[in-house]
């Protein structure tokens, strides 16, 4: 060991992430792109999968697969046990009170739509109001607009300030006798703002209004406790937390899920079917019609196990360090504007470069092996709020390094040189 690395070892605080060891878990990070080592900074769009989860998927497909909740043979019993075991693990992960409050979905978008279809269509009517925020992803706007169109209900929007923080007084003032539902994001995918959802939920509950939280950008990066938040619904996706695509979760309080109508009809969501009458299954099964993505659900269970083995607090601390380092480095770049400067912010760095369109930035960074997202991030109302068509967005995760931030900054300097 050289003296320099001894020093590094010495200054590394106790409990800090060993990023080198974590990176060894992610085979894809060894890739080279355009002859340069891949710097994957597009984690808010989708994250990479560790060997532990990949291996779990392989083990399931090679030795455990059959349809669940059906047959009495050994493989079906095994698949069912693993599928339900993953549900229990996910329940504990977000501290849901009961296992039956965890509904498997295809992802966050599917979860939001399930609530819109099962709760919104059943309990909202003409003249009712739904509150969303300026910071929402399209997936937490469009379903509610569709509901408004169908029911003659009205969408109300919580505005944000120039830093990208929601204006909480305006939020409180939106409530009236017609307010029936609140749908807000926990963390803004475009700006990184962490919204104070716990107090916002308390505000809504004082008015007797239920709240759905879009947690797609929160669950991967911070400890989420749905009982502590007291949210009524909480939605998130597997693929943004190192898990598989095609699987997500809807958490819902049991008494609300029980009141809701099933969204899709089919097998597994029923107790009995005759041509005269069908009796629906209990929650969560009445929302899981048809054969679900069994492998992906079991993979999500393994993903939770992986993240827990590292610790969400340590992951959040590492991401915070990366964001602080990157934000500081950006202050030395001329003509760079960071969009979104909330005081409580996740590891998302959205920015524009004076005189250069984000897509040109993205194309040139890609040549340096740096993968960022460019565009409006499915949050056009956010872009409009800041008067820009698009941004470049770097979003960090547990496996990202300070060297990758350096590669990003060097890439930006190269863009500026090309366009000088």
Partner 1 sequence: MDSKQLYQEVILDHNKKPRNWGKLADASHQAEGLNPLCGDHIWLSLKLDDERVENIAFEGEGCAICKASSSMMTTNVKGKTVTEAEQLVREFRDMATGKLDITDESNHLGRLKVFAGVRDLPSRVKCAILPWHTLQAALHSESVVSTEGDQDPVPAAS
Would you tell me which residues interact with partner 1 (CB under 8 A)? 356-360, 363-364, 367, 375-376, 389-390, 418-419
CA 384 to chain centre: 22
For the bound state, the minimum distance from the C-beta of residue 160 to partner 1, rounded and expressed in Å, comes to: 21
For the bound state, the minimum distance from the C-beta of residue 141 to partner 1, rounded and expressed in Å, comes to: 16
Q: Which helix (H) or strand (E) holds 405?
A: helix 402-418
Report the distance separating Cα 72 and Cα 194, nearest Å.
Answer: 47
For residue 279, give the 3-state DSSP assignment.
Answer: strand
Q: Which helix (H) or strand (E) holds 150?
A: helix 142-151
Of 44 and 342, nearer to partner 1 (C-beta) is: 44
Reading the block at residue 46, the tokens are: 């989708």
Of 155 and 356, nearer to partner 1 (C-beta) is: 356
Of 91 and 139, nearer to partner 1 (C-beta) is: 139
Distances (CA, A) of 123 to 110, 132, 153: 19, 17, 11
For the bound state, the minimum distance from the C-beta of residue 389 to partner 1, rounded and expressed in Å, comes to: 3
Report the distance separating Cα 383 and Cα 388, nearest Å.
Answer: 5
For residue 241, give the 3-state DSSP assignment.
Answer: coil
For the bound state, the minimum distance from the C-beta of residue 42 to partner 1, rounded and expressed in Å, comes to: 13
Is 378 a residue of the active site? yes
Of 39 and 390, nearer to partner 1 (C-beta) is: 390
Reading the block at residue 14, the tokens are: 């106790």
For residue 70, give the 3-state DSSP assignment.
Answer: coil
Distances (CA, A) of 209 to 124, 136, 176, 257, 405: 12, 19, 10, 15, 42
Q: Which helix (H) or strand (E) holds 169?
A: helix 168-174
Distances (CA, A) of 260 to 54, 256, 309, 351: 35, 6, 35, 41
DSSP state letter for 209: -
For the bound state, the minimum distance from the C-beta of residue 407 to partner 1, rounded and expressed in Å, comes to: 15
Q: Give every CB contact of residue 128 below 8 A, 6+ residues apart in sequence.
A: 151, 153, 154, 178, 179, 180, 181
Q: Give every CB contact of residue 164 below 8 A, 6+ residues apart in sequence.
A: 135, 188, 191, 192, 193, 339, 340, 341, 342, 382
H helix runs in 290-401, sequence order: 294-310, 312-330, 358-367, 380-385
For residue 77, give the 3-state DSSP assignment.
Answer: helix
For the bound state, the minimum distance from the C-beta of residue 361 to partner 1, rounded and expressed in Å, comes to: 9
Of 20 and 387, nearer to partner 1 (C-beta) is: 387
Of 213 and 365, nearer to partner 1 (C-beta) is: 365
Of 156 and 376, nearer to partner 1 (C-beta) is: 376
Of 138 and 259, nearer to partner 1 (C-beta) is: 138
Catalytic residue, chosen from 148, 160, 231, 378, is: 378
For the bound state, the minimum distance from the C-beta of residue 349 to partner 1, rounded and expressed in Å, comes to: 20
For the bound state, the minimum distance from the C-beta of residue 131 to partner 1, rounded and expressed in Å, comes to: 27
Q: At what angle are helices 312-330 and 402-418 packed, to 10 degrees?
A: 30
What residues act catalytically?
378
């Amino acid at each position: 060991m050289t003296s320099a690395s001894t020093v590094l070892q010495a200054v590394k605080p106790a409990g800090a992430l060993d990023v080198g060891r974590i990176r060894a878990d992610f085979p894809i990070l060894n890739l080279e792109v355009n002859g340069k080592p891949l710097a994957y900074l597009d984690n808010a769009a989708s994250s990479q999968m560790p060997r532990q989860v990949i291996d779990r998927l392989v083990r399931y497909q090679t030795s455990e697969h059959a349809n669940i909740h059906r047959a009495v043979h050994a493989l079906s019993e095994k698949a069912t046990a693993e599928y339900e075991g993953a549900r229990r693990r996910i329940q504990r992960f977000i501290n849901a009170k009961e296992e039956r409050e965890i509904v498997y979905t295809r992802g966050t978008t599917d979860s939001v739509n399930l609530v819109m279809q099962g709760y919104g269509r059943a309990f909202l009517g003409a003249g009712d109001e739904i509150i969303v925020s300026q910071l929402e992803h399209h997936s937490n706007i469009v379903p509610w607009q569709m509901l408004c169109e169908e029911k003659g209900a009205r969408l109300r929007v919580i505005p944000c300030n120039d830093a990208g923080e929601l204006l909480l007084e305006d939020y409180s003032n939106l409530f009236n006798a017609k307010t029936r539902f609140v749908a807000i994001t926990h963390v803004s995918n475009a700006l990184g703002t962490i919204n104070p959802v716990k107090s916002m939920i308390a505000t809504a509950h004082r008015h007797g209004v239920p709240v759905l939280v879009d947690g797609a950008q929160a669950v991967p990066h911070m400890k989420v406790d749905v009982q502590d938040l007291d949210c009524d619904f909480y939605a998130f996706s597997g693929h943004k937390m190192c898990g598989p695509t095609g699987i997500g979760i809807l958490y819902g309080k049991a008494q609300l899920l029980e009141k809701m109508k099933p969204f899709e009809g089919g097998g597994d969501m029923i107790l009995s079917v005759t041509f005269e009458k069908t009796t629906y299954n209990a929650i969560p099964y009445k929302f899981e019609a048809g054969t679900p993505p069994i492998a992906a659900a079991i993979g999500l269970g393994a993903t939770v196990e992986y993240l827990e083995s590292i610790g969400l607090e340590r992951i959040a601390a590492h991401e915070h360090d990366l964001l602080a380092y990157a934000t500081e480095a950006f202050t030395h770049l001329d003509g760079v504007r960071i969009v979104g400067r909330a005081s409580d912010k996740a590891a998302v760095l959205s920015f524009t470069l004076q005189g250069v369109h984000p897509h040109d930035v993205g194309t040139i960074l890609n040549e340096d092996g740096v993968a960022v997202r460019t565009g409006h991030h499915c949050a056009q109302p956010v872009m409009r709020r800041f008067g820009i068509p698009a941004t470049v967005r770097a979003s960090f995760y547990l496996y990202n390094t300070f060297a990758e931030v350096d590669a990003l900054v060097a890439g930006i300097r190269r863009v500026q040189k090309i366009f000088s």
